[in-house]
Amino acid sequence: MLKADQLHQYYGGSHILRGLSFEAQPGEITVILGRNGVGKTTLLKSLMGVVPIKSGGLQLDGQDLARLTPFERVRRGIGYVPQGREIFGRLTVEENLRMGLAYKSGSTKIPPQLFELFPVLKQMLHRRGGDLSGGQQQQLAIARALAAGPRLIILDEPTEGIQPSIIKDIGRVLRQLAVEGLEIEPGRCQRMAVILVEQYYDFAEELADQYLVMERGEFIARGRGAEMRGNGVRALISV
- pLDDT, tens digit (0-9, with 9 covering 90-100), for 141-180: 999 999 989 999 999 999 998 999 999 999 999 999 999 9
Element (H, E) at 152: strand 152-156
CA gap 139, 29 in Å, rounded:
18
Low-confidence spans in the chain with pLDDT less than 50:
none
Which domain covers residue 22, as residue numbers? 2-237
pLDDT of residue 139: 96
Model pLDDT, residue 108: 84
Residue 108 DSSP class:
P
Residues in the chain: 239
For the chain, what is the domain count? 1
Task: Give the pLDDT score at 184.
Answer: 65
Are the beta carbons of 39 and 16 closer than 8 angstroms? yes
3-state class of 18 per DSSP?
A: strand
How would you class 96 by CB atoms within 10 Å of its CB: exposed for 0-12, middle for 13-18, buried for 19 or more?
Answer: buried
Coil vs helix vs strand at 117: helix
Q: Are 66 and 60 in contact, with CB atoms under 8 Å apart?
A: no
pLDDT reported for residue 239: 63
Strands 193-197 and 29-33: parallel
Is the entire prediction scored with pTM above 0.75? Answer: yes
Q: What is the pLDDT of residue 215?
A: 95
Q: What is the DSSP string of 160-214?
A: TT--HHHHHHHHHHHHHHHHT-EEEETTEEE--EEEEE-S-HHHHHHH-SEEEEE
**CATH number assigned to the domain comprising residue 63:** 3.40.50.300
